[in-house]
Amino acid sequence: MGVLQLLKSQFLCHLIICYVFVVSGLIINLLQLCTLPLWLVSKQLARRINIRLAYCVSSQMVAALEWWSGTECTLYTDPKSYPLYGNENAIVVLNHSFEIDFLCGWTFCDRFGVLGSSKVLAKKELAYVPIIGWMWYFLEIVFCKRKWEEDRRTVAQSLQNLRDYPENYWFLLYCEGTRFTPKKHQVSMQVAESKGLPKLKYHLLPRTKGFWVTVQNLRGTAAAVYDSTLNFRNNESPTLLGILNGKKYHADLYVRRIPLEMIPEDEAECAAWLHKLYQEKDSFQEHYTQTGCFPGPTVSPPRRPWSLINWLFWCCLLLYPLDNILNVLSLTLSFTASLGVRWMIGQTEIDKGSSYGNKEVPLNRN
Ligand SMILES: CCCCC/C=C\C/C=C\CCCCCCCC(=O)SCCNC(=O)CCNC(=O)[C@H](O)C(C)(C)COP(=O)(O)OP(=O)(O)OC[C@H]1O[C@@H](n2cnc3c(N)ncnc32)[C@H](O)[C@@H]1OP(=O)(O)O
Ligand SMILES: CCCCCCCCCCCCCCCCCC(=O)OC[C@@H](O)COP(=O)(O)O
């Protein structure tokens, strides 16, 4: 193990990183709160300010991935679609099997200049996670309770609010609705069988209602669906704790741009279209398992310095008053921040996931 790698695995380094993340995050949350009155005067200006404030938080995690752990990300995509990425609104459909898949998504957002503004259809519980969840409230992230009867109205309303958003964004949808586990896979394949759908090997059966409502409400606003399939080299299952320890991974992302006009408007046809998409995604994963790469050319966008510059800025600002780092108060503060971050990391861990998708369902439900 090299000296740098040894340093990255040191608890004191983790304490400092967590301290900077928590204190800067809380400062950003406070600044976001201060923008509330501005929403009444100029909604678009308030939105633009919040995009930049959010960037200060999420880009710290991107910096940890790109600069601290040195994780590399390769993009497989059609070179003709490449110039459009970041220059249009898009709905991103991504597989949900890894604890850090959202972070890899953020990395690509940063490389295409849409990190601050990007959105997701997220479970309601995440809205209460300090810093990130609170920040999302000001970013107009769309939350769902995963109870369609309640979600159909609230999700559609939140999506409608995004129609006049002032900057380009990617809207992330994990159609599988929860992270892949063998048990959830088994249950969802029983549902597939009852619906006469082909079985999937690498994905859960997609939930189609959220996709349909998103496409319908963002029609005319989003230009395309980016069908994205993520995998890691050497069969690795990366974690946030691994990133914090400076472990380097290599992510491969396969993206296909599908113009929104190609997606049927009718709900049943749209659901059938999504099922077919997931069958194709499954075949791409099979290709990856067999060959270690996705089909097609690679066009990797380089990492940008902004996430690192932002991180260094907060480190300088917040560590300056801690010149005597052994000061009891600062150590206590860092320790508390570290415990808080450990709890937040728990939110990303598959073992601590909810039981959503685990329960057998009455198979004739409509
Ligand atoms: C590469 C670039 C990346 C760019 C990244 C861009 C932006 C990044 C921004 C932020 C990153 C932050 C990341 C945060 C992560 C947050 C992740 C989450 O929170 S995922 C969970 C929340 N999201 C979803 O659930 C979305 C998918 N779900 C849906 O769409 C659902 O339909 C729903 C709208 C939530 C409603 O759910 P509900 O359970 O109430 O209804 P369903 O329609 O799903 O269920 C009834 C329906 O499903 C059938 N069924 C039953 N059991 C299963 C099963 N196990 N599997 C599949 N299907 C099942 C059932 O038979 C019914 O069928 P039918 O529809 O025919 O009636
Ligand atoms: C600068 C470095 C900072 C160090 C680390 C900081 C850690 C902060 C961690 C905050 C993480 C908050 C974002 C959570 C995103 C979680 C994504 C996720 O994967 O959610 C789960 C749902 O999809 C499904 O839930 P389940 O059905 O499994 O229940």
- Across the 366 residues of the chain, what is the mean pLDDT of every consecutive 10-residue run? 85 89 96 97 98 98 97 95 97 97 97 97 96 96 96 97 97 97 97 97 98 98 98 94 96 97 97 98 97 91 95 91 62 77 84 83 56
pLDDT in tens, 158-189: 999 999 999 999 999 999 999 999 999 999 99
Reported ipTM: 0.94
Name the residue of 76, 209, 240, 281 to mutate for ligand 1: max ligand atoms within 8 A of Cβ: 209
Q: To the nearest 5 percent, what fractions of the chain are helix, strand and coil? A: 55, 10, 30
Q: Are 120 and 172 in contact (CB under 8 A)?
A: yes
Report which residue type is found at 85. Answer: Y
**pTM assigned to the model:** 0.92
- Could you tell me which residues come within 8 angstroms of residue 320 by beta carbon, excluding any fewer than 6 positions away? none
Please report the pLDDT score of residue 323 as a whole number: 61
Q: Distance (Å, rounded) from C-alpha 28 to C-alpha 238?
A: 28
Protein residues with CB under 6 Å of any ligand 1 atom: 92, 94, 102, 105-106, 108-109, 118, 120-123, 126, 144, 146-148, 151, 170, 172-175, 177, 187-188, 191, 204-205, 207-211, 228, 253, 357, 361, 365-366
Closest of 287, 254, 292 to residue 78, by C-alpha: 254
Q: Distance (Å, rounded) from C-alpha 252 to C-alpha 194?
A: 33
CA dihedral 89, 92, 98, 102 (to 10 degrees): 20
Closest of 334, 343, 349 to residue 129, by C-alpha: 343
Q: Distance (Å, rounded) from C-alpha 65 to C-alpha 246?
A: 8
Tokens 């048990």 belong to: 183
